[in-house]
A and B are shown apart, each in its own frame.
Chain A
């Protein structure tokens, strides 16, 4: 059952989508990045946003969070302007190596996810600290909570950032390239964790690696200036050519297949 079907079955056809984009256009310095985007994502979905580098995946995610404003069109998050509702979501931005030198501990990074719950001028409360610890426990990072962020491996930093995204108890979880700098075993563990989290919240993640589609994924959104939504997690030749324009420019050499749960069709060579 796909996310949309689940939503329809659970809440009826009138259910409000968690994320809705209508007739959206976005350009950067006059260069169109996204054209004519229409999509609806319902509660409980597990969405993979895929596409080539520079195709507009991160832009799409930032539009959903209200970090970027569309030139034209409507973006709604949890039924309202994302700037008003985004405190109710969890966000794990793309990992950058720039944070390695920052003087901050793992625990303090996760606590930053409680901002907005504990307001201006207040110290973080006992409750905040408890939430941070249980969030770290969930991602298996509690043992490292007093370490400096720079002393962690790339994968451990990713898990810390996931804990930070989860610590506010979000309704939707946005992840930008969550699997970057994590090895294959770590990736499958992380997907197991996300699959478990998905029982409580909608998940949307961006990846440039089409081989990274796990059996937990319920829908796929292909982004390459245009956006195509697929309610079933199956890669088809059309999807791949939508992604790439022409087969010749396809950056995806091989599409992995997650047997027995996923059959990804072979990329057709002309």
Chain B
């Protein structure tokens, strides 16, 4: 148990915990709104922010955050206006954001960033300053979701009905995508944007059908994420594997078991 005294392990555990909470809450909203592709677009386009930060030698996290909030705004605008074509536009923003990031990094003098570290992150090298930002994002996420809970629930369940009831649906849609952007940014250096998508989708998918409320689903998803992250971290430490990828595979194994159980164990109701 002496590994827990190592500062980088403590940071990794804290980062995993904080990412699990934000991703469990935001991911539940993403899954019930059926906007996984949209969240994926925002996550991948964030790479453009990475490029910007390196090219202009700006502080990384604030720059990525600004860029991601900007993409979230564009996505919110597109998806409100032209619902029927939104998947195409999301694909465009997704690809253009990544391409922009790669070109800007190509053009940045003398510094070669490893793309892989942004895709899968490196949870074992989280600096203390990032932990502070993650705490802040968790607080903002929990506060926003608590304050707007019934409106977010209404919007997710039935957008047009909510509009008739006077719910500010457009504002909430942007708030929702801004939360997705924040969730992506806080985890991009830590666990990478591929793992963000795994934490956004796998646990909420598992918990959706057992939950009687969106809040319950969020709580259960946070728990499941924490379990996946810690199991994955331990395995990656034990067998010297890439931590982000190990966490995803742990989650995927549980998803597989769940799907098989669901298929072969008869339902009782």
Contacts and interface: CB of A to CB of B under 8 A. Distances in A.
Interface in B204-229: 208-209, 211-214, 216-217
A65 B166 CA distance: 11
Contacts of A99: 157-158
Contacts of B217: 103
Contacts of B208: 101, 103
- Contact count band on B: 20 to 34
Nearest to B204: A103
Chain B interface main SS type: helix
A115 B166 contact: yes
A164 B168 CA distance: 19
Contacts of A62: 160
Interface string A41-68: 0000000000000000000001001010
Given A91-B161, A103-B212, A120-B168, 6 more contacts: A103-B213, A104-B213, A109-B157, A112-B165, A124-B150, A148-B212
A123 B213 CA distance: 15
B214 A103 contact: yes
30 contacts: A67-B164, A87-B165, A89-B164, A91-B161, A93-B158, A103-B32, A103-B211, A103-B213, A103-B214, A104-B153, A108-B213, A112-B150, A112-B153, A112-B157, A112-B158, A112-B162, A115-B151, A115-B166, A116-B166, A120-B147, A120-B148, A120-B151, A120-B168, A121-B147, A121-B148, A123-B150, A124-B150, A148-B212, A151-B269, A164-B161
B268 to A, nearest CB: 12
A102 B32 contact: yes
A115 B165 contact: yes
A218 interface: no
B154 interface: yes
Contacts of A93: 158, 160-161
Interface string A170-192: 00000000000000000000000
A208 interface: no
A32 B50 CA distance: 46
Nearest to A62: B160
Given A87-B166, A120-B148, A102 B160 contact: no
Contacts of B164: 65, 67, 86-87, 89, 91
Q: Closest 5 A-B residue pairs measured CB to CB?
A: A103-B211, A116-B166, A115-B165, A116-B165, A91-B164
Given A103-B32, A103-B216, A112 B161 contact: yes
B159 to A, nearest CB: 10
Interface string B160-183: 111111111000000000000000
Contact of B150 (A102, A105, A115, A150): A115
A88 to B, nearest CB: 10
Contacts of A3: none
Contacts of A168: 165
Nearest to A28: B84
